[in-house]
Amino acid sequence: MLTLHLNATDLSRTVVRSVPSVGLELAAAGQRLFLPSAPQHLEAWRARTRAALRPVMRPYLDLCRLAWWLPDFLTPIGAGGDFAAVLDRVLATPSATLHAELRPRVDAGDLPPRVGELAADAPAVRQRLRAAMVAFHAVAVAPYRAEIDAAVHADRAARGHTLVDAGIDRVLRTLSPYLHWSSSGGSYRLSYECAYGTDLDVAPTGRGVTLVPSYFLPQPCVLDDPDGPMILAYPIERTRRELTTGAPLADLLGRTRAAVLGAVADGRGTTQVARDVGVSAASASQHTAVLRSAGLITTHRTGSAVLHSLTPLGEHLLRAARRL
């Protein structure tokens, strides 16, 4: 059991991340391929992804084969939805970190012996890892990015409504069936079952907690940044709808514009839309202008800031496309 011990300051600084973590989703997608089964909505995705695997992806997938552990350097804190930033951060991992995280797993037989080359930071091994990440991302995450982002944004929006209506206690109590929340006498605990019955106690000590909803993650995990808030990633509620590429909506609007429509599902600014979809701010502004002219989104300006949100027509179109 891993238990987060929170104080009142931690609670006041608890937030739900607005941008899906592409590094975490990519690594969790890799984990999903090694699990004995997949939930119904991921069965077709897993079959398609497995069929598209190539040898070039092996250096990355070797690191994702454990259901109960991921190397921290694969999920850099702060990179958010920017895949290029994730690649840069992973490739910049210090040699000492690679050795400390990977060598014990190789020695224990948890990871294949060939991972030892990365643990030793052998020449050219980082570039092979980068090529593996790019290739796997192209088949496992990129084609589904709009739908993944929309599902994660919807989860965050639901947490926001719960916070307004019932408070942070209800948010944490209903966060995930994998997580257990308790509060009594000024003591606050958020816990989940760890592999092998391990008992761990961690405390943010006033740094707060950033909750990161994840589409692919099979179970909660904690990522700790000593200079920032504690990160708690958790699986979003399973959907009954099969994960698809969102082709019907992409065929109608174009892939990028369909991704922009999905990105503003719970209200986004232009800069956030650009970051989520992976386009420039100018391109995001152009796409939102077209969607606004079509009556699919509305834009509210407060000073220099703008907030885009779906109109009833936009909501109806997005829901209809997801049912197809």
What pLDDT score does 12 carry?
A: 87
pLDDT at position 81:
72
Q: Which two tokens stand for residue 170?
A: 């209800």
pLDDT digits (tens, 9 = 90+) for 292-317: 888 888 888 766 778 888 887 888 77
pLDDT tens series, the chain, 324 aa: 888 888 888 888 888 876 668 899 999 999 999 988 888 888 889 999 999 999 999 999 999 999 888 898 998 876 667 888 899 999 999 999 999 999 999 999 999 999 999 999 888 999 999 999 999 999 999 888 877 877 787 788 788 888 888 888 888 888 888 888 988 777 888 888 776 567 788 888 888 888 888 889 888 888 876 667 788 888 887 665 666 665 566 667 777 888 888 878 767 888 888 877 777 888 888 999 988 888 888 888 766 778 888 887 888 777 666 554
With beta carbons less than 8 A apart as the criterion, state whether 228 and 301 touch: no
What are the CA-CA distances from residue 273 to residues 29, 71, 229, 318, 322 (Å)? 23, 29, 24, 16, 20
Q: Give the tens place of pLDDT for each residue, 32-67.
A: 999 888 888 888 899 999 999 999 999 999 999 998
Contact 26, 137 (CB under 8 A): yes
Is the pTM above the cut of 0.75? Answer: no
Q: Return d(Cα 109, Cα 118) in angstroms, integer.
A: 15
Q: Which of 70, 288, 246, 220 is nearest to 142 (CA)?
A: 246
Helical residues (DSSP H) of 13-115, grouped into ranges: 22-34, 40-51, 58-61, 83-91, 95-107
Contact criterion met (CB below 8 Å) for 136 and 56:
no
Q: Give the pLDDT score at 223.
A: 80
DSSP 218-259: SS-EEEE-TTS-EEEEEEPPPPSSPP---HHHHHHH-HHHHH
Q: Which domains does the chain have, with CATH numbers?
A: 2-18+147-235 (no CATH), 22-144 (no CATH), 247-323 (1.10.10.10)
Half-sphere CA count of 52, side-chain side, radius 13 A: 16
pLDDT score at 69: 86
